[in-house]
Chain A
Amino acid sequence: MTAPRRETLEKLTPVLTKRWLSPEAWRIGVYEQLDGYAALRKALAAHPDDLIQLIKDSGLRGRGGAGFPTGLKWGFIPQTARSARDTEKPHYLVVNADEGEPGTCKDLPLMTHDPHSLIEGVIIASYAIRANRAFIYIRGEAVHAARRLRNAVREAYAKGYLGTNILGSGLDLDVVVHSGAGAYICGEETALLDSLEGFRGQPRLRPPFPATHGLYASPTVVNNVGTIASVPYIVLGGAGWWKSMGTEKSSGPMIYSLSGRIANPGQYECSLGITLRELIELAGGMQPGHNLRFWTPGGSSTPLLTAEHIDVPLDFEGVAAAGSILGTTATQIFSDQDCPVYATYKWLEFYHHESCGKCTPCREGNYWMVGIYRRILSGAGTAQDLDTLLDTCDNILGRSFCGLGDGATSPVTSSVKYFKQDYLDYIEGRKAPRLSGKQLVGAH
């Protein structure tokens, strides 16, 4: 393991992760000592439209995977003068804290170790979009993060940061932390809204979009935890400072979650556009005896990349140009000792399990693909199986209700594209079966 070079270290941009170093930052008193709620005071003195413009100027893009410009999203909310018309629907802010994309692990530590930064962002964003109610939909399994978050909400009410007439500004805001109950699909924003309304978490047909018909068919902004938690820093430091990090079209810092065959897995907040080579250098190199073979740039729903992509800039444009998606910057790193066919099989089991069942291509397609993977990995694969897999992907991709189906095809098509030989080795008997006949029961 070699120490990272200075120029690589300088790609580190501790902004959202900085307070994690203070073990008690989850307490409101400590948070306040560390600049906490200073951005809120500053924001409440500004006009809401100016805050939306500020976020637009910063170039902040959604941190949940799609990278949609946040200021634009906020601007979609109809901003007519609400007081004039009593019948006007209320506006809502919903924070997507349903972190579950395989590989992704950046939001849970943020909510656990710095929950007030999210709440401060929620208050500022609600003020900007004229919402008086905000919901934080947190993944059910994230119990410690939810515990800290609920505590932080309680503390914020006690200090007058939430409730009525916040800091004398006239702003009223109530925040509810709503725990999910174990469904990956609820990370999809319209499924999340259905779940929050007390239904099965199944995606909605769009349009209409949440900006006009979101929660309770009212204008709603749905933002990721990292997006909202970025807001207080932009309010304090300004759009120009924010854009001093990252690239022209992908501004700011981003928390890269490194896992797998590297010496030091963990969270590395870096300037957007850093490369995997540099990230691995920061992480102390590959583990001894492991050579990089394949990796996900942003979770399992983003097509796999290989060792030849080690110098691709990890921003929205750079990864797209390399044929994948930046996603959630969940960088899962696999080596020559890992099998891309088996890895894909486990991901497919995940998509099969998590498919909500609403639309046929995703529900049936993932079911059948899992069966084909079991067959291949147990040594009973046939020459037609690869074609069947790709045909199935063709029938899922773009034909599913939401992105879950699209995402499921990512590991399949990319692994067939880059590692076809690995598939053929199982099919043609050059590689020992990975699954036993027992596990094949039920596969067709």
Chain B
Amino acid sequence: MGFSDATREKALEIIARYPADRSRSALLPLLHLVQSEEGSVSPAGVEFCAEMLGITKAQVGAVATFYTMYKRRPSGDWLVSVCTNTMCNVLGGQEIYDRLSEHLGVGHDETTADGTITFEHAECLAACDYGPVMTVNYEFFDQVDPDTAVHVVDQLRAGQRPQPTRGARLCTLKEMSLQLAGYAEPREEAMGDGPAGAPTLRGVRLAQDHGISVSGFDPDTPIKSSRGDAAPAATAAGLAANKPASDLKPAGDAPQPQKQALKEAK
């Protein structure tokens, strides 16, 4: 399929978000963009991205196939994902997945015969306090059980749009892909959807109910000035001592506790 001039315009807008000589940074949003047109990343979509960025189709293809959110086969309007990672799994996620798979007659990464629903199991969706969860086009349905999950997909297949527990009212996967490409939510009312659920507020509400707050907070506390003193020479010494500062995963040097655990397990 050829892409319209409007899509080309959008692609140029996306590229303009990044530094002029760094247009390749636009590749992930561009892949979301072509998915918003076609419902998946087709060979034509790959070619479009390559052309817009002046890189090869092989380079685009290598990226498109790396990320799970880019669908390589035509998908339905509704992507139903069930978390089967450990926590949701032990809380019932596996039963939900099995039941839906049987009910829809499809397995992981497959689309129903009527073309409406693409089904998948997902890894941790970062909602463990609401487990077990499933999502439709990435909007959350919390604390589901097999029956409620079946009800949701039946509504979808009947052309209805069930309201997610958290998150905004549903839009189609193509419409969602446009937001993933970095475009604003066009539905003003959807922005306000999805009030914080009880688990999100548990701690802060408990504190409120018991009148707990952190004392000693004075927003006018002055910021200490070192002007006039020798400027803190952060760089040279700092760089020499710059140990891996990764979030969670320090490269190379294994964290000691794991080594210890391995030794003890042996």
Contact = CB atoms under 8 A, between A and B. Distances in A.
Interface in A15-30: 15, 17-18, 20-21, 23-24
Contacts of A179: 28-29, 32, 180-182
A42 B139 CA distance: 37
B10 to A, nearest CB: 15
Interface of A is mostly: mixed
B12 to A, nearest CB: 15
B169 to A, nearest CB: 11
B129 interface: yes
Nearest to A224: B247
Given A50-B226, A176-B17, A198 B26 contact: yes
B217 A237 contact: yes
A282 B249 CA distance: 30
A442 to B, nearest CB: 14
A14 B207 contact: yes
Given A181-B69, A397-B259, A266 B200 contact: yes
A110 B12 CA distance: 32
Interface string A42-83: 110011011111100100001011101000110110111000
Interface string A178-189: 111111100111
B203 A209 contact: no
Contacts of A78: 235, 239
B120 to A, nearest CB: 10
A257 B129 contact: yes
Interface residues of B, number: 116
Interface string B149-167: 0000000000000000011
Contact of A343 (B17, B86, B137, B140): B86
B246 interface: yes
B202 A264 contact: yes
Contacts of A144: 139-140, 166-168, 193-194
Interface in B193-222: 193-196, 198-208, 210, 212-219, 221-222
A112 B194 contact: yes
B67 A181 contact: yes
B247 A303 contact: no
A65 B247 contact: yes
Interface stretch (B1-9, B99-107, B250-258): B250-258
Interface in A64-119: 64-66, 68, 72-73, 75-76, 78-80, 96, 99-105, 107-109, 112-113
A187 B231 CA distance: 34
A259 B128 contact: yes
Contacts of A323: 257, 260-261, 264
Contacts of B138: 140-143
A301 interface: yes
A275 interface: no
B224 A269 contact: no
Interface stretch (A145-153, A363-371, A377-385, A425-433): A145-153
A267 B85 contact: no
Most buried by B among A105, A142, A299, A410: A105
Given A198-B26, A259-B87, A20 B200 contact: yes
A79 B235 contact: yes
Given A14-B212, A20-B204, A235-B223, A222 B124 contact: no
Contact of B218 (A109, A113, A184, A237): A237
Nearest to A206: B251
A209 B242 contact: yes
A9 B206 contact: yes
Interface residues of A, number: 163
Given A50-B226, A259-B129, A409 B258 contact: yes
A181 B259 CA distance: 33
Contacts of A31: none
A122 interface: no
A353 B67 CA distance: 11
B247 A64 contact: yes
A394 B263 CA distance: 9
Given A66-B247, A416-B265, A49 B231 contact: yes
B79 to A, nearest CB: 10
A18 B17 CA distance: 33
Nearest to A16: B204
Interface string B11-42: 00000011100101111110110000000000
Interface in A218-242: 222-224, 235-238, 240-241
Nearest to A144: B167
B62 to A, nearest CB: 6
Most buried by A among B87, B182, B190, B244: B87
A247 interface: no
A212 interface: yes
A417 B261 contact: yes
Given A140-B180, A203-B251, A350-B123, A390 B265 contact: yes
9 contacts: A9-B212, A21-B208, A42-B219, A177-B182, A237-B217, A255-B203, A283-B202, A350-B85, A413-B264
Interface of B: 17-19, 22, 24-29, 31-32, 53, 62-63, 66-70, 84-87, 89-91, 122-131, 135, 137-140, 166-168, 176, 179-182, 184-185, 190-196, 198-208, 210, 212-219, 221-227, 231-232, 234-235, 238-239, 242-262, 264-266
Given A9-B207, A198-B24, 16 more contacts: A4-B206, A50-B226, A100-B124, A102-B85, A113-B196, A143-B137, A150-B182, A200-B62, A201-B66, A206-B251, A216-B22, A238-B221, A265-B128, A265-B130, A268-B206, A397-B262
Closest 6 CB pairs of A and B: A403-B249, A65-B248, A64-B247, A266-B202, A75-B234, A268-B203
